[in-house]
Amino acid sequence: MSVPEIEAIRKFVFERILNQDTRTKSVNLFGAIDSQPAIIIAEKTAFPTDSDILESFSKETHLPALSLIEHNDIYHWFLASLESGELPRCANAKLTLIYPATETHVRKYSAQSLRMVTETAAIYKEFVLPYINTKRENGRLNWVYNILEKKKESESIIIEDTDDREGFMLLPDLKWDRKTMNSLYTMALVRRRDVTSIRDLKKKDAPWLRRLQKNILQGLCSKYPDLEEDQIKLYVHYHPSYYHFHIHAVAVSHDGGSGQAAGKALLLQTVISQLESLGGDQEAGLADVDFTFFLGEESELWQNVFSNMKKGGKTA
């Protein structure tokens, strides 16, 4: 027995794309059914969580088509098809393999509740700075240095300034398909290795950051003529996912979820203005400022520092 609604959608004649969102994996299509205007909003469904289905990732036959996009140190990125089909045209999944994964990775990618915390200058210097230093040891930033030294991903460079002090390298983030300007997502790695996060920035760095801001915006608009500077937002994270200073350059229209939320992202212009308004001489910096942000309960900072402080105990 036919269902009228199903019969109607099968008659849909596609005309054009109204909108697409690479984060939510949705697309809005305009067309017609029986010569009447019609819109289809198509969204990819979530992966099933039944263990018997997810265990199929352990089977060689589960991914009939698999193509390596890039690899760098312990990180590997693939396009995959869960059914037979030619890549990349028929890819219906993008896979990131972290191997070998550390306990820090397991914590980062686990479901967890969030907590708001305030990191004072004193807490930063006594407890957080030693933590940051450990995250820069034992080759943890090798994958970043591989990029800066052009050992990896050199073919993906969008903009490059080779000056050791002022320079940076701008690359596409794997969240971006490198075609859709509304979902533009790029990242600028600075060449300086003495800046781990915004905490290392000083008043004297404001002119450098202004030049970075100008060069990134102008470079992107030169590379992609359809873009205008006021369609791009530049921001940094505190705390970042890795401790080598970098700037996110993203389309204003791109919905970045929690990564662009208050309590995680700080607009670069705001950081520059804050530095310029600091009292004191040129050595005054953000190491002496209080910052409020959110942390996951599985994060090391929450478990080893802020959770213990909340309980009135000693930090690890």
Ranges of each domain in the chain: 4-43, 51-98, 121-289
Q: What share of the chain is helix, strand, coil (3-state, %, to 5)?
A: 30, 30, 40
Nearest 5°: CA angle at 175, between 173 and 177?
A: 90
pLDDT recorded at residue 55: 77
Q: Which CATH number is 121-289's, of 3.30.428.10, 3.90.1170.50, 3.40.640.10, 3.30.310.50? A: 3.30.428.10
pLDDT recorded at residue 116: 97
Residues that constitute the known binding site for substrate: 143, 153, 173, 175, 237-248
| pLDDT tens sequence for the chain (316 residues) | 466 888 888 899 999 999 887 777 888 999 999 999 988 988 887 777 788 777 767 776 667 777 888 888 888 888 777 665 555 555 567 788 899 888 888 888 888 999 999 999 999 999 999 999 999 998 999 999 999 999 999 999 999 999 999 999 999 987 787 888 888 999 999 999 999 999 999 999 999 999 999 999 999 999 999 999 999 999 999 999 999 999 999 999 888 888 899 999 999 999 999 999 999 999 999 999 999 999 999 999 999 999 999 888 666 5
Residue among 275, 296, 310, 307 nearest 106 (CA): 296
Sign of torsion, CA 42 46 47 51? Answer: negative
Annotated catalytic residue, options 71, 105, 246, 254: 246
Beta bridge mates, 251: 232
* Gap between the Cα atoms of 10 and 89, Å rounded: 23
Residues that constitute the known binding site: 143, 153, 173, 175, 237-248
Contact call for residues 28 and 39 (beta carbons, < 8 A): yes
pLDDT recorded at residue 286: 98
Strand order in the sheet with 93-98: 65-72, 75-81, 93-98
The reply to whether 246 belongs to the active site is yes
Residue among 203, 240, 177 nearest 21 (CA): 177
